[in-house]
Amino acid sequence: MSASYSCHACGEDYSEVRTVVPWSGGNELPAPSIEGQKWCYNGLHTNTALPADDNRRIDHSIVTLEAGPGLQARLDALDRNVKTLTVVSNGMYDDSHGYRLDRELPQLEELILKDVCWEKVGCVVLAQDPFCRGTP
């Protein structure tokens, strides 16, 4: 048995999974295991509204994406104000599909690409990089 949630603090999705353990008196539910992002910025995830004094907040200028179905659409939909973009493998290097990152991200300061096959990473992305200046 499982239930899926989205953390109100960090925005990550996670699931609580419980395996029913039969015993002679009926069924007993053990403590849930967490699938997905296990920890929030400051401890455990929360699926309730954050109190005003909770300092955890979502920072939309820092984006981490995982390769897989829908990655190209998520790359194309990136906010222009992204400062840090990380794209990581979903556990397997798949060179049958190359992704394109060729849109303007004028605020981008850090780009981290780990084990993902790329068709194109355009210089317009790295506008602050001196090697890309003057390149069409």
Whole-model pTM? 0.53
Is a pLDDT exceeding 50 seen at residue 136? no
Indicate if 40 and 24 belong to the same structural domain.
yes
Tokens representing 20? 């029913």
132 part of a folded domain: no
Pairing type for strands 33-36 and 13-17 reads antiparallel
Indicate if 68 and 110 belong to the same structural domain.
yes
Q: What residue type is assigned to position 94 of the chain?
A: D
47 part of a folded domain: yes
Contacts of 22 (CB under 8 A, 6+ apart): none
Q: Are 58 and 9 in contact (CB under 8 A)?
A: yes
129 part of a folded domain: no
96 part of a folded domain: yes
Query: What's the pLDDT at 77?
Result: 92
Indicate if 66 and 41 belong to the same structural domain.
no
Contacts of 70 (CB under 8 A, 6+ apart): none
Q: Where are the alpha helices (DSSP H) in the chain?
A: 71-76
* Of the candidates 64, 62, 71, the residue with the CA atom closest to the CA atom of residue 117: 71
Coil, strand, or helix at residue 14?
A: strand
Tell me the residue range of the domain where 77 lies.
62-121
**Count: domains in the chain:** 2
- CA 120 to mean position of chain CA atoms: 21
Is a pLDDT exceeding 90 seen at residue 75? yes
Indicate if 1 and 44 belong to the same structural domain.
yes
Indicate if 99 and 54 belong to the same structural domain.
no
Tokens representing 87? 């794209």
5 part of a folded domain: yes
Indicate if 2 and 54 belong to the same structural domain.
yes
Band (124; pLDDT cuts 50, 70, 90): low
| 21-47 pLDDT tens trace | 666 565 565 666 777 776 676 667 676
Indicate if 39 and 78 belong to the same structural domain.
no
